[in-house]
Amino acid sequence: MTNRIRALRFEHGEMTQQALADRIGVTRQTVIAIEQGRYSPTLEAAFQIAEVFGAPLDAVFSYERAENRQ
């Protein structure tokens, strides 16, 4: 799963990771892990992130099947 969180943060007034973390109720470390693809958030957190950026879920996260990645 890939995401555009980093790009979206910069498009939204260079929002800090801490500010996003505070908005969705997780730690900054979790936001870092999500951005780097080391952690897939719960559906609830994913919707909250999309809501913060005022974007639909698929504009923030995208899923690519393993066979398509090759």
Q: Which residues bind other proteins (CB under 8 A)?
A: 25-30, 33, 37-39, 41-42, 45
Q: How far is the CB of 12 from other proteins (least distance, A)?
A: 22
* Furthest-apart CA atoms within the chain: distance in Å: 37
Q: How far is the CB of 26 from other proteins (least distance, A)?
A: 4
Q: How far is the CB of 32 from other proteins (least distance, A)?
A: 10
Strand partners, 2: 62
46, 61 Cβ separation under 8 angstroms: yes
Residue closer to other proteins by CB (options 11, 57) is 57
Please, what is the Cα angle at 39 between 35 and 44, to 5 degrees? Answer: 90
